[in-house]
Amino acid sequence: MTSKTQKSPVVPLEKKSSPEVPEYRPRILVVDDESIIADTLTEILVRNGYAAVAAYDGSGALETALLQPPELLITDVMLPGMSGIELAIQMRRIFPECKALLFSGQAGTSDLLATAHRAGHQFTLLSKPVHPNDLLAWVAESLKPVQV
């Protein structure tokens, strides 16, 4: 009686497929009631390696954040219903690690910022229009780990 041994085929290591490990992309929530601005800023961020999503008012932003907590909130100060400052304060209460960048094209926002400052909230304010390179620099700086 002869026994034949069958060898299983050898698969070279370079041909083995491994599951794709998703690349880390910081999540950013962009909020502006002017959809063209929110969508444009979101697209700029996505094209530069961020996982960005747009919202068009404060309540929509909060709903989106509850589904996908952001690391950074970028919001217009003047929003319908809830100001961007109120949104940023609520976001920090819900997500303490979330950072916030505010932007505005209106001079009247300084009073709102002063009120927030007196309540102990510090926010960075960018002026509209925000140049894409300036935006990307502020985003990169905002997402740097805090040195202790």
Render pLDDT for 97-138 as a digit per residue (tens, 0 to 9): 999 999 887 766 666 666 667 777 777 788 888 889 999 999
Higher pLDDT, 132 or 146: 132
What pLDDT score was predicted for residue 75? Answer: 95
Render pLDDT for 2-26 as a digit per residue (tens, 0 to 9): 555 566 566 555 545 555 656 789 9
State in words which class domain 24-142 has. Answer: alpha beta
What pLDDT score was predicted for residue 98? Answer: 94
Please count the residues of the chain.
Answer: 148
Domain positions in the chain: 24-142
Higher pLDDT, 145 or 13: 145
Render pLDDT for 29-63 as a digit per residue (tens, 0 to 9): 999 999 999 999 999 999 999 999 999 999 999 99
Q: What is the rounded average pLDDT of the residues 69-93?
A: 93
Residue 11 C-alpha from the chain's centroid: 42
pTM: 0.78
